Structure 1
Amino acid sequence: MFWAAITLGLLANLHCIGMCGPIALALPIGNLSKIQKVFSVLTYNFGRIVVYAFLGAGFGLFGYGLKLIGILQILSIILGVFLIFQALIQFNIIKFTKPNITGKALNFLKKGFNNQFKKRSIDAFFMMGVFNGLLPCGMVYTALIASLLLGSWLEGFSFMFFYGIGTLPVMISLPFIGNFFGQQLRAYYQKVLPYTLLILGIIFVLRGANLGIPYLSPAIDTNAKPYPAQTINCY
């Protein structure tokens, strides 16, 4: 599971160049010493990963509730179909215009980020990472879906933590190497993303299909009870 999380995070690195890259490049570290720069960038990324981990815990806890009522594998199929649908959009097979429903939330996050940007303290770098972690991101949503399907707050927390670790190579290096990553890598990401979404969608569909394949498509235990048997005495 943890290797899957890190792998997904590594795949997200090219995505980070286009989405979070401008934020990382804008971090106010220009007048700091080398040690201060490194510590500030690490603190910024720590804030981002902390947010991912707690979001994963929340989604994992929600998935646990869905597991208890017996619909987690059905949800796995639905989410898998959704990811396949997203892949088809990326391939331009399906035309779809996304509704703009995140405008107010984005403005709130941008305002919070800008306020911290002016402070330039260590706690400000941490909060900048927190606000960055809350920004809408397709790859983060994909990882959160995986956390939901794990059906455990602890596994969800761990999955998103290691996902964040996987995103570190680009997010740590960007503030120091500037615009070294050019348009070619971003174009390469656009080519890779649809295939990634398609593969993940197929995996999620198989996971809920009750085919009896260990790890990939586990069989549903129809004899399992959502709660342990208890003896209730009435007086």
Structure 2
Amino acid sequence: MSGLNLLPVFAVGLAGSVHCVGMCGGIVGALSAATPARARTIPIVPAATALPAASALDGALRVLGYNTGRIGSYMLAGALAGGLANGAASLAHIARWQGIAYVLANAMLVALGLYLMNAWHGLARVEAAGNVLWRRVQPAMKYLVPMDTLPKAVALGGLWGWVPCGMVYSVLLTALLSGSAASGAAVMLAFGLGTLPMLLALGLAGARIRQAMQRPIVRAACGMLVLGFGVLGMIRHASGLPHGWLDALCVTVPL
């Protein structure tokens, strides 16, 4: 999978990060319950001013550390998914399988777009299935709060990358279809980097960003962008359009 093919994945992460804003906003209270009173204001994406004794630089490093761990866990999941598909290489050259896989990957983008727009919440059922894994990972979080050091921030981000999330799962399907562990990791890296600007801003600016990004018009615009990628991909498949410059706008799988 070339760098050009990863551009729409990055864009999906960038547009879909409005969902991350809402999700992280709800996590603040959950973490606060397990955090000493003096650190009750530390959200999952730490604000630079969360700890009065910490400098802005220290807070920024923890924000970066958290997101490094989070994206690292995405890459691990992508590598596992891509490697799993590569292990079934006997299916990789079956044209019918490739066509079904391509349509399914883009259908997930359509579902994600509708999810972001609050028009359809079918992906919430997929998130519910992910709770099986999350229940095993979540207990380890109690050892990482308060998140007052860089290693804790990285570790907490690494754990949080496994939170059930329909948006992550929709992109993980593309990683599954990428053909190899390395390509799967690259897909999830591109996605994670797309979510990074928003989550860095959220970590440093806090509630102001969260409030602005949860406006219906913002979510609708981002959802329509993601939905557009999926619809274009399915139209391309149905009409038999060749590979080329459209790779920059369509999520593709190896052919």
- After the TM superposition, which of the residue ranges 13-22 and 159-168 deviates more from structure 2? 13-22
**Separation (CA, whole Å) in 2 of partners of 1:25 and 1:118:** 10
Corresponding residue for 1:232?
Answer: none
1:59 Cα deviation (Å)? Answer: 2.1
TM-score, normalised via structure 2 length: 0.69
Alignment of 1:35 with 2:61, yes or no, is: no
Alignment of 1:145 with 2:173, yes or no, is: yes
State the Cα deviation string for residues 152-196 of structure 1 (Å, max 9, x = none). 322221121122122111212222212112444213343135424
Task: Assess, with a 3 A threshold, how the Cα gap between structure 1 residues 203 and 141 changes in structure 2: closer, same or farther.
Answer: farther
What is the percentage of aligned positions where both structures have the same residue?
A: 25
1:173 to 201, 205, 208: 201
**Separation (CA, whole Å) in 1 of partners of 2:196 and 2:119:** 33
TM-score, normalised via structure 1 length: 0.74
Letter in structure 2 aligned against 1:59: A
Corresponding residue for 2:104?
Answer: 78
Alignment of 1:10 with 2:29, yes or no, is: no
1:198 Cα deviation (Å)? Answer: 2.7
Instruction: Map 1:189-208 onto structure 2 (within 5 A).
Output: 189-206=218-235
Task: Assess, with a 3 A threshold, how the Cα gap between structure 1 residues 125 and 214 changes in structure 2: closer, same or farther.
Answer: same
Corresponding residue for 1:129?
Answer: 157
From the CA coordinates, give the structure whose radius of gyration is larger. Answer: 1
1:62 to 74, 79, 84: 84
Task: Assess, with a 3 A threshold, how the Cα gap between structure 1 residues 54 and 94 changes in structure 2: closer, same or farther.
Answer: closer
Instruction: Map 1:83-162 onto structure 2 (within 5 A).
Output: 83-84=109-110, 99=125, 100-118=128-146, 120-162=148-190
Kept in 2, the 8 Å contact 1:106–1:135? The answer is yes
State the Cα deviation string for residues 184-230 of structure 1 (Å, max 9, x = none). 42133431354244323324435655815115599x97xxxxxxxxx
**Separation (CA, whole Å) in 2 of partners of 1:127 and 1:189:** 31
Letter in structure 1 aligned against 2:242: I
Kept in 2, the 8 Å contact 1:28–1:120? The answer is no
- After the TM superposition, which of the residue ranges 169-178 and 115-124 deviates more from structure 2? 115-124
Kept in 1, the 8 Å contact 2:75–2:189? The answer is yes
Letter in structure 2 aligned against 1:198: L
Question: Which structure 2 segments of 5+ residues have no match?
Answer: 29-43
- After the TM superposition, which of the residue ranges 207-216 and 33-42 deviates more from structure 2? 207-216
Kept in 2, the 8 Å contact 1:7–1:166? The answer is yes
Kept in 2, the 8 Å contact 1:44–1:128? The answer is yes
Task: Assess, with a 3 A threshold, how the Cα gap between structure 1 residues 27 and 139 changes in structure 2: closer, same or farther.
Answer: farther
1:17 Cα deviation (Å)? Answer: 1.0
Aligned length: 220
